[in-house]
Amino acid sequence: MRKAYFFILFLTVVCLTSCVDVEEHYDFKADGSCKVAYTFDMGKAMSVLMNLMPDSIKATPQFSMVKDTTLNFYSAMPDSTQQKMTLEQTNLAKSSNLSVRMNLPKSEMKVSISHQAKDAADLQYYLRNISKIESESNLNSVSKNKSDVKGFDAQQLISGQDYYAYEVTPHKFYRVIDKAKFNAFLKKAQSTLAMAKAMLIDMPYKVVLNFAKPVKKVNNPRALVSADRKRVTLQTNMDEIIKDPSVMNLKIDF
């Protein structure tokens, strides 16, 4: 039950990632390793949803739940999902951690997935394949009819990272959006995006990259480089990305 609970919670949060604060965080170390984390902060959306829910639902035990825990991503998956995964997907999931912080009475809900890459090749493989864990494992069968949040399709947004093409080496981090894949993503997620806009929920997106040494070149004029040139921050929102997907492109030499 615990495995199913955490994974269903993860799906619920990720299926709402088009109407929450999304942050990607990269910490590059001098030895070539890098910790990458995807964080989905659903607090604003939960605040709106809680205001729309009747008191009878708010009074149920599920909505008085408080959790703050971290566990292995693979261990959070139900056995039925684990059995469908390939060896590569299994190893990828086992190398990731899932953190959940939830306090529904205070409208707090945050989920993050993190991975410690041992080198540039490991990071590139992770970034290129993490979305395949969900998209190729038929995770809709896990979440279907098990979420109290209706009107959302988890499969629509879980595979969002699939629309990026990554090239990572010991001295560069390149990410370019594939417009064809992004347009396909928008088509699938249009109902969720429309709901977010109707609820007047902002959809910010932030990427933060910390480096062990100063970066030499950044191609995106919207990216902010710190005074010591060891941090690059790109901040936008889903509306801007829809109008011009290239705003998320990043080519950093370091």
Give me the torsion for CA of 63, 65, 68, 74, rounded to 10°.
-80
More confident residue, 105 or 232: 232
Continuous segment of H or E residues that includes residue 48: helix 43-52
Rounded (5°) CA angle 187-96-117: 100
How far separated are the first and last CA of the chain, in Å rounded? 46
Tokens of 28: 């590059």
Give the pLDDT score at 236. 92
197 vs 202: CA distance, rounded Å: 8
Q: pLDDT digits over 175-195, tens only?
A: 999 988 888 888 877 776 676
Structure pTM?
Answer: 0.77
Task: Please name the helix (run of DSSP H) or strand (run of DSSP E) that holds residue 174, with its range, or none.
Answer: strand 172-177
Task: Tell me if 102 sits within 8 A of 109, measured CB to CB.
Answer: yes
DSSP state of 20: S
Residue 3: is its pLDDT beyond 50?
Answer: no
Q: What is the pLDDT of residue 166?
A: 95
Parent domain of 195: 2-253
Element (DSSP H or E) covering residue 231:
strand 231-237
Please, what is the Cα angle at 87 between 113 and 90, to 5 degrees?
20
Strand bridging mode 21-28 / 231-237: unpaired
Asked whether residue 157 carries a pLDDT value surpassing 70, the answer given is no
Matching residue, tokens 């594939």? 178
Total number of domains constituting the chain: 1
Give the start-end residues of each E strand in 12-129: 21-28, 34-41, 66-72, 96-103, 108-117
Asked whether the predicted pLDDT for residue 50 surpasses 90, the reply is no
Contacts with 162 (C-beta within 8 Å, 6 or more apart), sequence order: 131, 132, 135, 181, 185
The answer to whether the beta carbons of residues 140 and 155 sit under 8 Å apart is yes
Assign residue 74 a region (left: φ > 0; alpha: ψ between -120 and 50; beta: otherwise): alpha
199 contact partners, CB below 8 Å, separation of at least 6 = 19, 45, 48
Percentage of the chain lying above the pLDDT 90 cut:
35
More confident site: 5 or 113: 113
Nearest CA among 135, 248, 128, 144 for reference residue 188: 135
DSSP code of residue 70: E
Give, as one character, the DSSP assignment of residue 131.
Answer: H
Give the pLDDT score at 57: 74
Distance CA 118, CA 209 (A): 16
- Determine the pLDDT at residue 161: 62
Q: What percent of the chain has pLDDT over 70?
A: 74
